[in-house]
Structure 1
Amino acid sequence: MGDKTGGNTYRFEPNSTLNMGVGATYQNLTLNLAYGFDFLNPDLGQGDSKYLDLQAHMYPKKLVIDFFGQFYRGYHVANSALPGSASDRFTVLPDMHVRKLGASVQYLFNGEKLSLRAAFLQNEWQKKSAASALLGFEMYGGTTYNEGGMLSPSLTNEQIGRYDRSRFLEFGPNAGYVATLVIKRHFFLTGSVSTNLGLGYLSSFEGGQQETSWQVTPNLFVRGFAGYNSRHWSVNVNYVHNRVNLPSTTAYDNTIMTGNYRFNLVHRIAPGPKLGQSLGKLDSFLKSLRNRGNKPR
Structure 2
Amino acid sequence: MPGYTKLLLISFICCCIGCLQAQEPAYILDYSDKLLLRLYTISKVNSLTIENRLEELGLELLPNGNTNLGLGFNYKKFGLGLAFGLPLSVEKKRKFGKTQRLDIQGSMYGRKIGADGFLQSYRGYYNSNPTDFIDWTSDVLPQIKSMRILSLGVTGFYLFNSDKYSYRAAFVRDEIQKKSAGSFLLGLFGNYDEARTDAGFVPQEFPDSLRTKINVKGFKNLAIGFSAGYAHNFVIKEKFLLGLAVIPGFGYQRVSITELNGSIRNEDQPAGQVMARIGLGYEFKPFYLALTGSANWRNIDFSPYNFKLATEQFRFIIGKRLGI
Label 1:111 to 1:170 Cα distance change in 2 as closer, same or farther (>3 A). same
Label 1:270 to 1:249 Cα distance change in 2 as closer, same or farther (>3 A). same
Q: Sequence identity, in percent?
A: 28
Residue number among 200, 204, 220 corresponding to 2:274 in the alignment: 220
Label 1:66 to 1:98 Cα distance change in 2 as closer, same or farther (>3 A). same
Whole-Å separation in 1 of the counterparts to 2:180 and 2:87 = 41
Q: How far 1:229 moved relative to its partner?
A: 2.5
- Can you list the C-alpha shifts for 1:146-193, whole angstroms capped at 9, x where unaligned? 011111465141324541111111111110000001122221111000
Contact kept? 1:62, 1:108, Cα under 8 Å: yes
Aligned equivalent of 1:239: 293
Q: Unaligned 5+ residue runs, structure 2?
A: 1-49
Alignment of 1:6-85 (within 5 A): 6-38=55-87, 43=92, 45-85=95-135
Q: Helix, strand or coil: the match of 1:73?
A: strand
Label 1:267 to 1:170 Cα distance change in 2 as closer, same or farther (>3 A). same
Aligned equivalent of 1:189: 242
Whole-Å separation in 2 of the counterparts to 1:236 and 1:158 = 45
Q: How far 1:209 moved relative to its partner?
A: 1.6
Q: How far 1:81 moved relative to its partner?
A: 4.6
Whole-Å separation in 1 of the counterparts to 2:68 and 2:91 = 12
Aligned equivalent of 1:133: 184
Instruction: Write out the 4+ residue segments of structure 1 that deviate beyond 4 Å after TM superposition.
Output: 39-42
Contact kept? 1:80, 1:89, Cα under 8 Å: no
Q: Unaligned 5+ residue runs, structure 1?
A: 272-297
Choose between structure 1 and 2: higher strand proportion: 2
Moved more, 39-48 or 49-58: 39-48
Q: Specify the structure having the higher radius of gyration (Cα).
A: 1
Alignment of 1:121-200 (within 5 A): 121-152=172-203, 155-156=206-207, 157-160=210-213, 162-200=215-253
Q: TM-score, normalised on structure 2?
A: 0.78
Label 1:41 to 1:220 Cα distance change in 2 as closer, same or farther (>3 A). farther
Whole-Å separation in 2 of the counterparts to 1:238 and 1:10 = 28
Label 1:40 to 1:55 Cα distance change in 2 as closer, same or farther (>3 A). farther
Contact kept? 1:228, 1:235, Cα under 8 Å: yes
Q: How far 1:123 moved relative to its partner?
A: 1.1
Whole-Å separation in 2 of the counterparts to 1:152 and 1:221 = 30
Q: TM-score, normalised on structure 1?
A: 0.85
- Can you list the C-alpha shifts for 1:243-291, whole angstroms capped at 9, x where unaligned? 0112x223311011011011111111129xxxxxxxxxxxxxxxxxxxx
The CA RMSD measured in Å over matched residues stands at 2.0
Whole-Å separation in 2 of the counterparts to 1:178 and 1:233 = 25
Contact kept? 2:254, 2:269, Cα under 8 Å: yes
Which structure is richer in relative contact order (CA contacts within 8 A, separation 6 or more)? 2
